Amino acid sequence: MTDLARIRNFSIVAHIDHGKSTLADRLIQLTGTVAERDMKAQMLDSMDIERERGITIKANTVRIEYPAKDGQTYILNLIDTPGHVDFAYEVSRSMRAVEGSLLVVDASQGVEAQTLANVYQAIDANHEIVPVLNKIDLPAAEPARVKEQIEDVIGIDASQALEISAKTGLGIPEVLEAIVTRLPAPKGDRDAPLKAMLVDSWYDSYLGVVVMIRIIDGVVRKGDMIKMMQTGARYGIDKLAVLKPQMVDIKELGPGEIGIFTASIKQVRDTRVGDTITHEKRPCAKALPGFKPSIPVVFCGLFPVDANDFDDLRDAIEKLQLNDASFTAEMETSAALGFGFRCGFLGLLHLEVIRDRLEREYDIDLITTAPSVVYHIHMKDGTMRELHNPADMPDLTYVERIEEPRIKATILVPDEYLGAVLKLCEDRRGIQMDLTYAGQRAMVVYDLPLNEVVFDFYDRLKSVTKGYASFDYQMQGYREDKLVKMSILVNDEPVDALSMMVHRDRADARGRAMCEKLKELIPRHMFKIPIQAAIGGKVIARETLSALRKDVTAKCYGGDATRKKKLLEKQKAGKKKMRQFGKVEIPQEAFINALKMDS
């Protein structure tokens, strides 16, 4: 039984690459939680793709025991969170399980867009925040300037900020003391009915579904019968443990503690993040408020290159969904690509990570269609439909208006690149909402249409600012605009994998660029191929791919000119017939490359 006053629950939040996972490594190492021989860099990043890209994707937790200077031993539950905007969902739910946060800021880079977003989530969750300046050993570090910036931009007192280097271990003992002295202890009543929050769940091939919980009130023991309040499902607890990265079995979990249990649950779908867990016989009166479910923002089609791999793809997607509740998939068919899945993601990095995992862990070659967003189609009969795939657009005579999702984008950029960023946002139909300065850097807030952002906005932003800009966004809701569906026709046949929603004013330029690109990518055939971009029945752009030609008059030496004419007419008729029945083969890379459009 652990005294509540000796427990501290905290998370580490920061922008990408400011050193969260390295700081977690040092805390684990200094307290001897993991034996020296088992230590490795980024201890808590367990997926191959996390280690390879050097990013955190899943929030991970560890329990550390720390003998403090006051002679007491404290239990510290640490949650290491992702820094990337696509995984902000992981951050928001980790915040609810803890009482305080270490805000890590790079002492040379200063406050970035994602630092702001993550701190605001911590403030929303009423956290006590301890600022930590990392990478203090770098020659470019300017702690005084960064402290001032934290106070100006975020508005929290940074006079007591800790100065550390997570890489060398400088200042880490002070961090541990600050956690004990400056962060609050959890509250909870041991004798009240059990009330626990489901923080996360994942699938383990030996144990089944593993569920991570934070106990608010009451006690849970091995063998207890529990009930999930949202789903009403009942389970018996088989195993209780805490993570010291490895599982260590324990007899009971009391208030304020974070631990895991298994209960012969078959599917991760049966465990909803944010659900309240209580005893079956003695339930708590009121459920916890829970979280908003994660809403996929970007959709794209995933199709196997070889149609025979479809069953493998289905199995692989089902397995990935077990561990990632924010990834959705449903079956779809396409005339050009055969059977596949329409998948929803939280952003483009999420899409790339899932695609890489499918290709690498399950060895499937994939075709990815153009990423698109969900549009709201308001029909004249007063109903509203969600449009996930531009190919399913209903007849425009029945449509009253089309609304598209908008986002509020916050961009932090050094002064000299501000002009280029403003031009990029204006080109993408952005509406400027705010422009302020924090030292040498401008903070621009724009209202942008999401479909202009999902494509290559982030890459363009990085290239026009030489990588110095940082970008973060939140969903703002839907707004009506002049949107049309642009279809691409190759040899008079529509290619549904290339159809997309565009703004009416941009459609002509977009269509022309697309046709020119396809003309380079599609190989020539024996007959000429028209490539057209059309809106409804109106063609707005056209390119013609000329035919490969055989010289049929080569064997005519002199003689009457009508002989030549007759052979050419015969060839012309043959080509016409061939074009009527001929199939145009569009190579796989044409789909991918046609979509990478520069504005």
Q: Which residues belong to the annotated binding site for GTP?
A: 17-22, 134-137
| 180 touches 73 (CB < 8 A) | no
Q: How far apart are CA 584 and CA 576, in angstroms?
A: 14
What is residue 329's three-state secondary structure? strand
Say if strands 298-304 and 338-345 run parallel, antiparallel, or are unpaired.
antiparallel
Tokens describing residue 61: 């937790």
Q: Is the sign of the CA dihedral 553, 558, 564, 567 positive or negative?
A: negative
Quote the CA–CA distance of 136 and 170 in Å, as a whole number.
9
Sign of CA pseudo-dihedral 564, 570, 573, 575: negative
Written as one string, the DSSP assignment of 451-469 is HHHTTTHHHHHHHHTTT--
Q: What are the b/e assignments for 525-564, b being 16+ CB within 10 Å?
A: bebebebbbbbeeeebbebebeeeeeeeeeeeeeeeeeee
Size of the chain, expressed as the number of residues it contains = 599
Tokens for 51? Answer: 């280690």
Measured distance between the N- and C-terminal CA atoms of the chain, rounded to whole angstroms: 62
DSSP annotation string for 393-407: PPPGGGEEEEEEEEE
To the nearest 10°, report the CA torsion of 18, 353, 461, 303.
180
Beta strand 73-80 with 7-13: parallel, antiparallel or unpaired?
parallel
- Token pair, residue 72, equals 């007491």
Closest residue by Cα to residue 76 from 172, 152, 149, 201: 172
284 near 192, Cβ under 8 Å?
Answer: yes
| Residues placed in the known binding site | 17-22, 134-137
Pull the structure tokens for residue 396: 């425009």
The residues, ordered by sequence, that sit 6+ positions from 154 with a Cβ below 8 Å of its Cβ are 103, 111, 115, 116, 119
How far apart, in Å, are the Cα atoms of 34 and each of 37, 64, 296, 564, 597?
A: 8, 9, 37, 87, 49
HSE-up (13 A, CA, CB side) for residue 99: 21
* Helix 507-521 / helix 588-595 crossing angle, nearest 10 deg: 150
Q: What is the dihedral of CA 134, 136, 140, 141, to 10 degrees?
A: 80
Residues 193, 94: Cα–Cα separation, whole Å = 23
